[in-house]
A and B are shown apart, each in its own frame.
Chain A
Amino acid sequence: MKKVEFFKLIQQGIPSKLPQKKEYSKAINHAPSKQQNLSKEDKILAVKNALRYFPKKHHKELIKEFLEELKKFGKIYMYRFKPIYKITSKSIYDFPHKSTQAASIMMMISNNLDHSVAQHPDELITYGGNGSVFQNWAQYLLTMQYLSEMTNKQSLVLYSGHPLGLFPSHKNAPRVIITNGMMIPNYSTASDLNRFNALGVTQYGQMTAGSFMYIGPQGIVHGTAITILNAARMLKSNSNKIKLFVSSGLGGMSGAQPKAAKIAGLISVTA
């Protein structure tokens, strides 16, 4: 895609004309469906909440689609609005912007959603099975639009993926302030998360997914190498025979462990 076309798509935010409905891609890794325990009222509320991002004229068509997504996946991702361009990290000067700081954040968001980086890119999940960058594609589109037009006298506020808006601030203020999954303490159980996430009012940001700071498996490889290096060192006084590292894990963790053990000079078995 040409740069000028890409700029136009970023700057338009949520398109005024509905993009074509997309086939559910079987070529990429999808997040597992979430637990289904929403009441009828909650289902209505979830769809109503999702429609807030779109003009009235599209509601009729979107209601059906969003309800279907909710029933099928336990969450409304708004698949239809996933952009047609390739989301990937590139030079900050290849993003439309008025603020270089804002452009650096666009770059980091794009890396977190890159198909070669993200675990479930269509569900905007970077790692950990549930580490969300945004809750749905409307939030992505709106955030990128805000970032492209903001100046160094504004700050963008994100509530669990939802771009609340641009607020006047000053040049040495943060350009973006992010909160993810913050709850009134008594409403922070796993089933609360399931429900409030389905309603579209909170998300699980893991650590570097919702904060746009993921750098691929390198982070966990390094941390693990340092950990087992020091573990081996700590145990050395008892025995000189510490050579085997046995572990298990899923996803990014399991891949990182043998690599880290090799760097730390150990033999490893990972189940």
Chain B
Amino acid sequence: MIKNQPDEFKKFVKRALKKHVKYINKHTDKGTYFFDYGNAFLLEASRAHADILKDNGEFKYPSYVQDIMGPMCFDYGFGPFRWICMSNKKEDLERTDKIAQLELKKLLVDAPSEIKQQMQDNIDWIKAAKNNNLVVGSQARILYANSDGRINIAQAFNNAIKKGVIGPIVIGRDHHDVSGTDSPFRETSNIYDGSQYTSDMSIQNVIGDSFRGATWVSIHNGGGVGWGEVINGGFGLLLDGSKQAEDNLKSMLHWDVNNGIARRSWARNKEAIQAIKTAMKKEKFLKVTIPNLVDEKLIKNL
């Protein structure tokens, strides 16, 4: 049907979306909390003229990034850091799981209270990861970490490679992250200064990664939400135990996380303002423009 009657197919999809929204509304009337989980459901439902808009034209429901992922993770720099064992050996993955766990535990001791929960969740995750049998294909692991977490874990891997404890490791991440993706209905849906329709952040990000030592970089139009709705980029970086790899990982990961925090801070996200101020205290060569917040009372009756 997609091939031969594409218009008819679209009609069916729209009808299904309308029905879907009708049932969601029934559920939420009874107290269910509903959120869009990243496939542009709200956007497509509104295009299908489903009962998904408030009187002021906004969506009735939040996206998961607006309520959860944005303020709790991305604005602090937590995002989907991952690594892949180039030896393709299970033993290497087990060793890296232990190294990562140890590094996160060390960071947890002095972590600010507002990010302790995120760190603990990921320590629990990595502890259980092996038994959850999640590996399909390459020997790989994912966890959410902030700038310090990603840098410390990667550095500990590089040291272990140098000592011959493990083989080379590729580090990378999903594009769905703090800095990598501009997407008004997903990753940057918790940006409220109008800039959610721009893609400066993701383009700057890939350019910045490319000259700070990434082994490969990529920038894409289109992701989970559809073509023309998102610009997203990522990187891969090979750790081989060398001094060059150590310099690269420190420089590149620092930018790859703090670029997005700086932008989210400029958009007045309070968690990001706090996070970028902390980052500036740690790195004297980082100097970010901080927004001045206007008194709402002063601007309201303009």
Contacts and interface: CB of A to CB of B under 8 A. Distances in A.
B225 to A, nearest CB: 11
B12 interface: no
A51 interface: no
A248 B142 CA distance: 24
Contacts of B68: 227, 230-231, 234
B238 A100 contact: yes
Contact of A218 (B141, B219, B224): B141
A25 B233 CA distance: 34
A222 B295 CA distance: 39
Contacts of A233: 117
Interface in B59-107: 64, 67-69, 72-73, 80, 82, 84, 86-89
Interface string B110-137: 0000000100011001001000101111
B299 to A, nearest CB: 29
B6 interface: yes
Contacts of B35: 231
Contact of B170 (A104, A128, A216): A104
Given A89-B137, A105-B216, A235 B33 contact: yes
Contacts of B233: 211
B132 A263 contact: yes
B270 interface: no
A107 interface: yes
Contact of A179 (B27, B37, B219, B244): B219
B257 to A, nearest CB: 17
A50 B216 CA distance: 26
Contacts of A183: 221, 228
Interface string A217-246: 111011111110111011100000010001
Interface in A245-271: 246-249, 253, 259, 263
B227 A211 contact: no
A253 B224 CA distance: 11
A201 to B, nearest CB: 13
Contacts of A192: 227
B121 A226 contact: yes
Contact of B125 (A107, A172, A222): A222
A217 B136 contact: yes
Given A108-B236, A177-B210, A263-B132, A222 B143 contact: yes
Nearest to A158: B218
A178 B236 CA distance: 11
B252 to A, nearest CB: 10
B136 A216 contact: yes
B141 A227 contact: no
Contacts of B173: 213
A160 to B, nearest CB: 9
B281 interface: no
A107 B138 CA distance: 9
Contacts of A200: none
Contact of A205 (B134, B213, B218): B218
Interface string B271-284: 00000000000000
B3 A34 contact: yes
A190 B136 contact: no
Contacts of A221: 132, 134
B72 A179 contact: no
Contacts of A89: 88, 137-138
Contact of B175 (A105, A211, A218, A242): A211
A68 to B, nearest CB: 15
Nearest to B210: A174
Interface string A33-55: 11111000000000000000000
Given A172-B248, A190-B228, A215 B2 contact: no
B226 interface: yes
B142 A222 contact: yes
Report the 10 A-B pairs with minimum CB-CB distance, sorted nearest first: A216-B136, A178-B218, A211-B218, A181-B221, A188-B228, A215-B140, A207-B175, A89-B138, A176-B216, A117-B137
Given A207-B174, A226-B73, A259-B132, 6 more contacts: A176-B216, A176-B217, A189-B227, A211-B236, A213-B172, A216-B138
Interface of B: 2-4, 6, 20, 27, 32-33, 35, 37, 39, 64, 67-69, 72-73, 80, 82, 84, 86-89, 117, 121-122, 125, 128, 132, 134-138, 140-144, 167-168, 170, 172-176, 181, 210, 213-224, 226-228, 232-234, 236, 238, 240, 244, 248
Interface of A: 32-37, 74, 88-92, 100-101, 103-105, 107-108, 111, 114, 116-117, 128, 171-183, 188-190, 192-193, 204-208, 210-213, 215-219, 221-227, 229-231, 233-235, 242, 246-249, 253, 259, 263
